[in-house]
Amino acid sequence: MNLEGQLVDKKSIRSVTGKTADFPELAKDCVAFANAQGGQLHIGIEDKESLPPADQKVSPELLDTIRKRITELTVNVFVLPAIVQAENGGEYINLTIQRSQAVASTTDGRYFLRVSDRCDPIIGDDIMRLADERPGRPWEAMSSRVPRSEPDTAKLAAFVSAIRASGRVKDSVREKSPDELLNHYGLADGAVLTHLGVLLLGTTAQRRNLGTAPLIQAIKYDEMDNKINKWLWDDYTFSPIELVDAVWQEIPDFRETYEIAEGMYRRQVPAFDEKVVREILVNALVHRPYTQRGDIFLNLYPDRLEVVNPGRLPLGVTPQNILHASRRRNDGLACVFHDLGLMEKEGSGYDMLFDRLLSSGRPAPVTKEGSDWVKVTIKRRIMKPEVIRLVSEADAQYQLMQRERITLAALAQHEGLTAKELASLLEVGSTDELAQWFGRLTGLGLVQSVGKTQATRYFVDPALLRDSGVKLPTTLKRIEPHRLKELIREDLRRYPDSSSMEVNKRIGAEISAKTVKRSLDGLIEEGVVIFFGERRWRRYRLADKGH
């Protein structure tokens, strides 16, 4: 079991003892945690281990040494070391690093940030971004001028009712009075509401006075990019909690359906997955910078939906790592949305988007970041309807994990992907990390592979593809003789007992039938391919040694 992640890391006991002690490296890690959400370092547990050595003992004097050295080597970093005895009897140091209220750094002027399981350096303009995103007191916790006794009574009653009905909160939270819930969720500070309290529970006038409460514009375009309809939520009537429902209910396009063929039958499918649209809206509301003005735009095109949010992604999160990086900008707002069941748990929202979109035969969401905006695009129509049945049947039989469904659906939508291509699609740092995404897929025979290392090519089991009706064309950019032969071999490996015409159609109609037939004859002479039947009933397959 790997305990490392956004909030936890492990270090060898050798990093703080004897000649191998490396306190500057430890200081760097502490700075990274302090600039993110805080966290814990388990000193005395080796990589790939979940427990310390059973005979390991930690000297109490070492705690004072760590505390002293971190203080000497860092600025705005506060740590609390403690000795912990593991279940096997061994001891390790649990070093708790608090989230810094100001920007943390090493004393030699270096800045770092914890992103997923890495400690990334911060340089250049990003240092100013970090300072801008870390006020001494977060925006949502700042006090307003609204007395805590003067929220919108209907909104407060609805909020209390929703919290008490939620399956995500403890009984001790449900039992709190409305006034106690204001304190519990940071909606009030003493005698007044906080900015978060006004945002969620204030009246229309109170929310307008905040200056940065979210406004939403939805614009519909035709095939020529002409505006043909518009919806506005710009009067501050709705809180962010209510905006999600208001947008979903008012835009009729979200409830449109169309037919897809499924064998002899036709099935109605939604133009947009409700969970996907709601999750993207929630992300836009929860993760936007509330110190910055700007409307949220929903651009509806005939083939796609674009959601454009003001501000950039949180520092450390990029379009290339958004599937894995987790960094909340508004902790209090995220907590409320999670407890009300309006968003997935931290770090799993984009996993859900990938899962539902790919499993429904649609492409993965595309995220782009500009100088002061972030745009997420999802496609409207299902590109490969057959993938729905394929993933559904595999999931029903094997109860696939989420990452297994994502990987299976991604491969089913393509002719196949090399290890490098798949790593890029899944936004993992290296091909070595793909194992956790494949899970049981290769062991169950759902996914097969050819080749080695980064040139390994993965594809869905041909029998499963045939049974689900998926017909994916194999492709090759340069049709040189030896490459065409390899292309035909790959095609017959997936679709044995095929005719020359069927092979020709799958590998590309632009290749002449005579060229394909000539390559097939050459493979037969080499003993790689065999055939049975004559004339138009002739069928080809790989010989045993051709597999």
Write out pLDDT tens, residues 63-107: 999 999 999 999 999 999 999 999 999 999 999 999 888 899 999
- Segment 282-288 mean pLDDT: 91
Write out pLDDT tens, residues 143-183: 999 999 999 999 999 999 999 999 999 999 999 999 999 99
Q: Which residues touch 289 (CB under 8 Å, ≥6 apart)?
A: 133, 310, 311, 329
Give me the pLDDT at residue 472, please.
46
CATH class of 481-546: mainly alpha
Looking at residue 210, the DSSP 8-state letter turns out to be H
The answer to whether residue 1 scores a pLDDT higher than 50 is no
Percent of the chain with pLDDT over 90: 47
| Cα(270)–Cα(248) distance, integer angstroms | 13
SS3 percent helix, strand, coil of the chain, rounded to 5, is 40, 20, 40
The answer to whether residue 3 scores a pLDDT higher than 60 is no
- One-character DSSP codes across 225-248: S-EEEEEEE-SS-S-HHHHHHHHH
Give me the pLDDT at residue 10, please.
92
Would you say 305 and 276 are in contact if contact means Cβ atoms under 8 Å apart?
no
CA distances 21 to 16, 39, 64, 245, 391, Å, are 4, 21, 15, 55, 50
The three state secondary structure string of 155-168 is HHHHHHHHHHHCCC
Domain boundaries along the sequence of the chain: 8-133, 139-210, 217-379, 395-468, 481-546
- Segment 264-271 mean pLDDT: 73
Burial class (CB in 10 A: 0-12, 13-18, 19+), 457: middle
C-alpha neighbours within 13 Å on the C-beta side of residue 70 = 28
Q: In CATH, what number does 8-133 get?
A: 3.30.950.30
| Cα(490)–Cα(485) distance, integer angstroms | 9
Give me the pLDDT at residue 326, please.
67
| Cα(382)–Cα(357) distance, integer angstroms | 9
pTM more than 0.85: no
Q: Do 395-468 and 481-546 show the same overall fold?
A: yes
Handedness of CA 387, 392, 393, 397 (dihedral sign): positive
Q: How confident is the model at residue 270 (pLDDT cuts 50, 70, 90)?
A: confident
The pLDDT mean for the chain works out to 87
SS3 277: helix
Does domain 395-468 correspond to CATH entry 1.10.10.10? Answer: yes
Structure tokens that stand for 490 in this block: 């790959």
From 138, 103, 97, select the one nearest 122 (Cα to Cα): 103
Give me the pLDDT at residue 258, please.
78
**CATH classification for the domain delimited by 217-379, as one of 3.40.50.1000, 3.30.565.60, 3.40.50.280, 3.60.150.10:** 3.30.565.60
Give me the pLDDT at residue 192, please.
96
The three state secondary structure string of 74-99 is EECCCEEEEEEECCCCCEEEEEEECC
Beta bridge partners of 463: none
The answer to whether residue 116 scores a pLDDT higher than 80 is no
Write out pLDDT tens, residues 464-516: 766 665 554 444 444 567 777 888 888 888 888 889 888 888 777 667 788 88
